[in-house]
Amino acid sequence: MSDDYQRVEAHDCPMSTCAAPAGSPCRTTKGKVAIQYHTARFRLVPSLAKTLNVPTPPVRKPGTTWVELPRPVGAGAEPSGHVRIGYARASTARQSLDTQLDSLAAAGVTRVFSEKISTRATKRPELEKAVTLACELRASGVGVTLVVHEHKRLGRGIDLATLAEELRACGVGLEFLTGELQGSHDPGGVVFTVLAALSGMEREYIRDRTLEGHESARKRGKAIGGASVTDDTMLAMALQMRGQELSLREIAAKLVITKGAKKGQHPSPATVMRLLREHDEQTAAAPVAVGE
């Protein structure tokens, strides 16, 4: 079972050559983390008495230099009380956290960590703070659950599975208030692991289908994205003003959109830059006529 190592580590290792204290993995005579727990130790757990071996989980980094880890407070004792810690995240500064925060408040969560940062960011400070606090509270003997509006706020695929492993190692539960994984989960459970992997595949599937659709549209000569606000007249005027050495901002302020929902407005400097760049690229790619 996924929590076998925690039950084994609730006891000191009786092997004189190891003597690892409760809370730490077994060690070899060379001072490395053992690949598996010593038989004399895991047999102290009644349900494992007849087991042939209990492997040391990856979270303990078997084969690395052994260091003593903090002893569990009240090892083997039932959690006293329960704490629910919330986490909310939006991908951009423009997105609102209100829906997530309201959802967490309605679920009775009062301690919430929130941030506006992309899922692809390698470090999410507020999430790290939430997980650290959750693990510290669990180590003190309190039951802890990390509550999130939807699993996508934590991540997908391998990122979600990695976080789940960290929570499982600390004995912290997970709860999602809505979405595909709605409900309470054992982060180390097989069902959760499979669903987390599928959520990562979903993102890749959507991305691949979108790219295929874009490529198909390009082959048919269709434009990608929203309706264009530029035309040949605007290009001609932009080229003329560029020849007068005006800045993109100055050019944009003198141009007017003549069609669509933005009719009468000025294009953005970025639109002018894209218009001129596409013209330059097409001009550079055009074949030179013979005799020129």
Residue 112 sits at the vertex; the CA angle it makes with 164 and 122, to the nearest 5 degrees, is 50
C-alpha dist (Å) from residue 103 to 99, 150, 177, 185: 6, 10, 8, 18
Q: How far apart are CA 116 and CA 202, in angstroms?
A: 23
Of 2, 91, 114, 140, which residue is the catalytic one?
Answer: 91
Active site includes 91? Answer: yes
Which residues are designated catalytic?
Answer: 91
